[in-house]
Structure 1
Amino acid sequence: MTQTVRLTTAQALVKFLANQYSERDGVQQRLVTGMFGIFGHGNVAGVGQALLQAQVQSEDGAQGDDVLGDLPYFLARNEQGAVHTATGFARARNRLQVMAVTTSIGPGATNMVTGAALATTNRIPVLLFPSDQFASRVPDPVLQQLEDPGTLDVTVNDVFRPVSRFFDRITRPEQLVPSLMNAMRVLTDPADTGAVTICLPQDVQAEAHDWPLAFFAPRVWHVGRPVPEPAALARAVDVIRSAKRPLVVAGGGVVYAEASEELRAFASATGIPVSDTHAGKGAINWDHPSAVGGVGSTGSAAANALAREADVVIGIGTRYSDFTTASHTAFGAEGVRFVNVNVLGFDAAKHGATMLVADAREALVALTAALEGWSVDDAYRQEAVDLDADWQRVVDECYHRDHGPLPAQTEVFGALNELMRPEDVIVNAAGSMPGDLQCLWRATTPVQYHVEYAFSCMGYEIPAALGIKLALGDDHDVVAVVGDGSYQMLPMEIATIVSEGVKVIIVLLQNHGFASIGALSESRGSQRFGTKYRMRNGATGRLDGEEVPFDLAANAASWGAEVLRCGSVAEFRENYGKAAASDRATVLYIETDLVGPNPPGSAWWDVPVSEVSALASTQQAYAEHVESKKDQRPYL
């Protein structure tokens, strides 16, 4: 007879999660390390009760089949912020550990959709449990239920379907068994991962069921390293050997596979220059002889010069976003070919590439061995070194501009780059900052650079910094760099950081507007319209009056953080030392120049311009856009 234990669906959920483990390279660890959430009527008596019971049983040292195990709970302030925290945590743990998020129904649930989209776009595993309406439909309609006259089985949670890698709704307790098994499969799949969403109707959460004890046995999910198929490896080697001017594009897959050492060895042996994407920055140390910096729309002049003439592009763990390809203009050589290394065939096949579907570390080891005795010529090696040296002089200039009266934000980045240790982490996501950082940041380790630029979600930085800090611990300082626009999206997780006693450094740059979109608006003929924080002008009726008199430093202090105002870059440097020495969450506040200056651009980004316009600025921008598109083409 099958042994069972009687638990509610929510209690079974908590007990199951507490017994899941991941393993890679012989290292085993808890898979789901905790749960963030906000309780409402949809989950407070279901998942909330189960988490409480687990905590009490753990504290009491209870024994028996009904003991739920230990699943720590963290109180977030915003559901989207909670998902960002979980995403930052999982990325910092190289996708080998995750956090779950529970919400109530209605707005609590749908607040998570943006976070789910970010996680899936970035290929980062997060586990989401939005509550749902009654499965029984007895009290129908319930508070916060979306009514569809054409069907009764649609809820607001159906919006999660397109932004989740796995989606399910539990309408009977026993459905939880196959659903959670599939959830763990997706969370630990290096190729097919992202947001996992399991909707929990509020009545089913509290419903009791006799669960087989085998369901709760400790289970290890092995994260594989797919090895290159020999024939595919041979094809890739043939293409690389034929190259005269090859270029590597290192993406996030190199970092997640923990393949940095192998990438450095490959580059040293072959002499092939290595550029990087946002997710891949730090995969090779910036001062390696083959490192040439970021490539694409916001890349370095060195990498983009090499990209324009590359005859073979070797993409390793990259999905080739439009910023990486400069909207299909970065790789300009006639007949350029691609060799793509990726665990996901979808990405490996892009640009008509010679495909190598494999783990980045295993592929690099195999490629290095197969290419033994082959390398690029000395002149090409030296060209890459010289181009990068020229670019490093530009970086030094941007870092030490002495611009005034307000400093350029690049000066703040320069101070951080020089003050932060190799093991510390800079976090950013949106605005003009990711572009400046990809251009300029000198990353020495894979952990140091955490810029979310797949979804580029304003508000990501502060909650993600909390997740990264929880993932990496006290030996790493985590520095969230956020502009005033991003700050106003999700500042409330500072309260979560403070309540958890976690030390995070937040660098808040205020420039009274949107620097990135303002510059883009100007370059596309829209005259920075609607991109500055200004009062409504009574005379013109426009938002072009005085600056809005808000005090973001005071706002940050109201959440419980220590705030240090910085009147200059020199004072910023001094205050950073104080923040690094402190054991408290600290905000460094500094005003910067809205219009830069920013690093010199060396590539294009396709943002369509109005084809007809009464504005001369737009007419000129459209003519420039048409001219730029002449270099755009599919890679086949």
Structure 2
Amino acid sequence: MSTTRLTVAQAVVRFLEAQHVERDGVETPFFAGCWGIFGHGNVAGVGQALLEREVAAREGQEQGHVLRYHQARNEQAMVHAAVGYARHRDRLAAFACTASVGPGATNMVTGAALATINRIPVLLLPGDVFATRVSNPVLQELEDPTSMDVSVNDCFKPVSRFWDRVNRPEQLPLSLLAAMRVLTDPVETGAVTLSLPQDVQAEAWDFDDDLFARRVWHVARPPVEDAALARAVATIRSAQRPLLVAGGGTIYSGATDALRAFAEATGVPVAESQAGKGSLPYDHPRSVGAVGATGTTAANALAAEADVVVGVGTRWSDFTSASKTVFAHPDVRFVNLNVASVDAHKLSAVVAQGDARRGLVQLTESLAGWSAPDAHTARATELAQEWDATVQRSHDLGHAPLPAQSEVLGVVNRVSRPQDVVVCAAGSMPGDLHKMWRTRDRKGYHVEYGFSCMGYEIAGGLGVKMAALDTGEDRDVVVMVGDGSYLMMSQEIVTSVQEGVKLIVVLVQNHGFASIGALSESLGSQRFGTRYRYRTERGLDGDVLPVDLAANAASLGAHVIRVSGVDELEKAFAEAQAADVTTVIHVETDPTVPAPDSPAWWDVPVAETSVLESTREARTTYEQNKQRQRSHLRPSDPHTEETPS
């Protein structure tokens, strides 16, 4: 057995370089690179290992795939960038992220949660305290009086799909292989954390060379087994008013063509979750747009009437199901096609566990000769056309003196190209985009709504653009961000400038948290704490703060264009398209002008007792809406449908 003497950190880097993934006969390196911010917990370990490989590549000593280092400004942001990259690559490529011990490590916890909730692969390599403990307590160490084996990295356990601490070099191979199994599994994937004590990172060991051999991880397309397929087909054939809800799994599995074929063959209308938006082009005859709490009137009207709902690759969050109020048919049944058992079994569904693309092909073939009633299909088309007209009116609102946010979205949507990608995450814009953005490409819509993390937008957009560049795609990445999210995390503008990765950032300034402000008002909390205002004797209700976000963006190295209305916005966007550097377009909007909405509901509890009349009125409305909630406990299996509700 041949061996090579390497430090643990050097062995980690060499191993990551050798990992490949294959799906449908196409093999690619799995790790695109490593994001990192160095401190005493990783600078002499992972940092030294990355430097060593970069020097080898630069001097021609290494011709193969070498893990490329990318410098970030914030540890949370670099995880967001890694997530944006992996999502755009359909989870078939990923980044590692390394941070120092203590605050550097814990800054990544939010990013880890976002990755795991969205089921996006990212490998985290936080530094840790000394395994030998001879220097304890070291700088930035948490001293737990109940255990010598606890560090701040234990915070990653609940937000990681796999977590391990490598206390000895000989433990490394099993940890690395377990990490890769999880990262490349469509069901299990998410954040994987390998805690690396700083002394162990620098410790040398004679590693078996087989650890660094080229290794291919195969991503399977499991079919729906025959009996489950038969149950699903029988349920769908019984439908008079069917509806299909496409989730993120439809896109990750490359199932959009199969979905189109299914919809065209069966006439079943297709609604979309946030992660599934783009599964069909917005103007496809079977597309009825967004469903749920941020849905269209078309999709939600059909959802309310649907007797059979087919979920494809969706995890049925409360937004998608309008907190279990939108599917109102008294005998509604669900069929869930999902590679993950946990999602396939939700809503007491007929379970069709399998790959989305392969499963849709199976359903289409098995449903040959069957289609939804013509009247139902025609009604869906009519409702979608009515909603599209509503969207157009909102785009052309002509509100003055400041434009409405819907007008800004309308201009950007119209002048961007079909293949360009809109990126957003939090605030009022995700809901407006879900309802009103006219998606024309399966990768044209990238809204992080699993965690809806403020600050994701610019960092996530950076990752999306890097993915597009790595795959040779001609796409502009348009980051839509409000002032609240911008103030949370904007510093990766610097990284985009450093890396030469151009973004178009549309910065909507409305001087506060517009989304939560509107929600607060609807819940009787009077927009408390949501405006950016000077403090007075009455509270935070003074004049608008003199914050100049455009000047801030310019100071970070971006080209900045200030616009005062939608007429100037179109010209500014054309300038941004022609630019070769990250460009920020700053536009002020009126936060009091709502976008068109459907009567869907979101369950946010209201105080049960209050001295405020506004809160008492909101509680009355809340209790009325709660009465519409359903448990969906009735079995959907046609063999058990006689079971009482």
Q: Structure 2-normalised TM-score?
A: 0.97
Q: 1:218-266 CA deviation, whole Å, 9 max, x = no partner?
A: 0000111111101110010000000101100000000000111110110
Distance 2:457 2:153 in 1: 26
Distance 1:213 1:383 in 2: 64
1:615-634 correspondence to structure 2 within 5 Å = 615-634=612-631
1:359-378 correspondence to structure 2 within 5 Å = 359-378=355-374
- Unaligned stretches of 5+ in structure 2? 634-645
Q: Indicate whether 1:226 and 2:225 are aligned.
A: no
Query: Which of 135, 142, 151 is the matching residue for 1:139?
Result: 135
Query: Which of 318, 322, 326 is the matching residue for 1:326?
Result: 322
1:424-443 correspondence to structure 2 within 5 Å = 424-443=420-439
Report the counterpart of residue 380 of structure 1 in structure 2: 376
Q: 1:182-214 CA deviation, whole Å, 9 max, x = no partner?
A: 111111101111001000000000000000011
1:23-62 correspondence to structure 2 within 5 Å = 23-62=22-61
Q: Is the 8 A contact 1:14 1:69 kept in 2?
A: no
Q: 1:351-395 CA deviation, whole Å, 9 max, x = no partner?
A: 110001100000000000000000011111110011111111110
Distance 2:348 2:283 in 1: 32
Report the counterpart of residue 284 of structure 2 in structure 1: 288
RMSD: 0.9
Q: Structure 1-normalised TM-score?
A: 0.98
Distance 1:69 1:359 in 2: 30
Q: Could you tell me how far 1:70 is from its partner in structure 2?
A: 1.0
Distance 1:69 1:360, change over 3 A: closer
Q: Is the 8 A contact 1:54 1:68 kept in 2?
A: no
Q: Indicate whether 1:20 and 2:16 are aligned.
A: no
Report the counterpart of residue 418 of structure 1 in structure 2: 414
Q: Could you tell me how far 1:582 is from its partner in structure 2?
A: 1.0
Q: Could you tell me how far 1:602 is from its partner in structure 2?
A: 2.2
Q: Could you tell me how far 1:445 is from its partner in structure 2?
A: 1.2
Q: Is the 8 A contact 2:295 2:597 kept in 1?
A: no
Q: Could you tell me how far 1:31 is from its partner in structure 2?
A: 0.2
1:564-575 correspondence to structure 2 within 5 Å = 564-575=561-572
Report the counterpart of residue 393 of structure 2 in structure 1: 397
1:81-120 correspondence to structure 2 within 5 Å = 81-120=77-116
Distance 1:26 1:633 in 2: 44
Aligned length: 630
Query: Which of 453, 473, 491 is the matching residue for 1:457?
Result: 453
Percent identity of paired positions between Structure 1 and Structure 2: 59
Q: Indicate whether 1:591 and 2:570 are aligned.
A: no
Report the counterpart of residue 636 of structure 2 in structure 1: none
1:543-582 correspondence to structure 2 within 5 Å = 543-582=540-579
Q: 1:395-438 CA deviation, whole Å, 9 max, x = no partner?
A: 00111101111101110110111111111100000001011111
SS in 2 for 1:631: coil
Q: Could you tell me how far 1:61 is from its partner in structure 2?
A: 1.9
SS in 1 for 2:35: strand
Report the counterpart of residue 345 of structure 1 in structure 2: 341
The farther-off stretch of 469-478 and 542-551 is 469-478
Report the counterpart of residue 641 of structure 2 in structure 1: none
Runs of 4+ in 1 over 3 A off after TM superposition: none
Q: Could you tell me how far 1:68 is from its partner in structure 2?
A: 9.4
Q: Is the 8 A contact 1:15 1:69 kept in 2?
A: no
Q: Is the 8 A contact 1:98 1:125 kept in 2?
A: yes
Q: Is the 8 A contact 1:341 1:355 kept in 2?
A: yes
SS in 1 for 2:596: coil
Q: Indicate whether 1:467 and 2:463 are aligned.
A: yes
Q: Indicate whether 1:512 and 2:504 are aligned.
A: no
Q: Could you tell me how far 1:597 is from its partner in structure 2?
A: 2.6
Q: Is the 8 A contact 1:57 1:68 kept in 2?
A: no
Query: Which of 604, 609, 623 is the matching residue for 1:607?
Result: 604
Distance 1:52 1:202 in 2: 17
Report the counterpart of residue 487 of structure 1 in structure 2: 486
Q: Is the 8 A contact 1:428 1:450 kept in 2?
A: yes
Whichever residue aligns with residue 585 of structure 1, its letter is T
Q: Could you tell me how far 1:601 is from its partner in structure 2?
A: 3.0
1:78-227 correspondence to structure 2 within 5 Å = 78-227=74-223
Q: 1:433-452 CA deviation, whole Å, 9 max, x = no partner?
A: 01111111111111000000
Distance 1:221 1:12 in 2: 19
SS in 2 for 1:436: helix
Distance 1:253 1:597 in 2: 31
Q: 1:497-524 CA deviation, whole Å, 9 max, x = no partner?
A: 0000111111100000111100110000
Distance 2:306 2:69 in 1: 50
Q: Indicate whether 1:297 and 2:293 are aligned.
A: yes
Distance 1:465 1:240 in 2: 39
Distance 2:149 2:66 in 1: 34
Q: Is the 8 A contact 1:11 1:68 kept in 2?
A: no
Distance 1:24 1:224 in 2: 7
Distance 1:523 1:263 in 2: 37
Distance 1:598 1:528 in 2: 18
1:232-247 correspondence to structure 2 within 5 Å = 232-247=228-243
Distance 2:435 2:421 in 1: 17
SS in 2 for 1:74: strand
Q: 1:71-121 CA deviation, whole Å, 9 max, x = no partner?
A: 100000000000000000000000000001000000000000000000000
Q: Could you tell me how far 1:69 is from its partner in structure 2?
A: 5.7
Distance 1:58 1:583 in 2: 28
Q: Indicate whether 1:10 and 2:6 are aligned.
A: no
Distance 1:7 1:399 in 2: 60
Whichever residue aligns with residue 443 of structure 1, its letter is T
Whichever residue aligns with residue 70 of structure 1, its letter is V
Distance 2:593 2:466 in 1: 34
Q: Is the 8 A contact 1:15 1:68 kept in 2?
A: no
Whichever residue aligns with residue 610 of structure 1, its letter is A
The farther-off stretch of 82-91 and 388-397 is 388-397
SS in 2 for 1:319: coil
SS in 2 for 1:488: helix
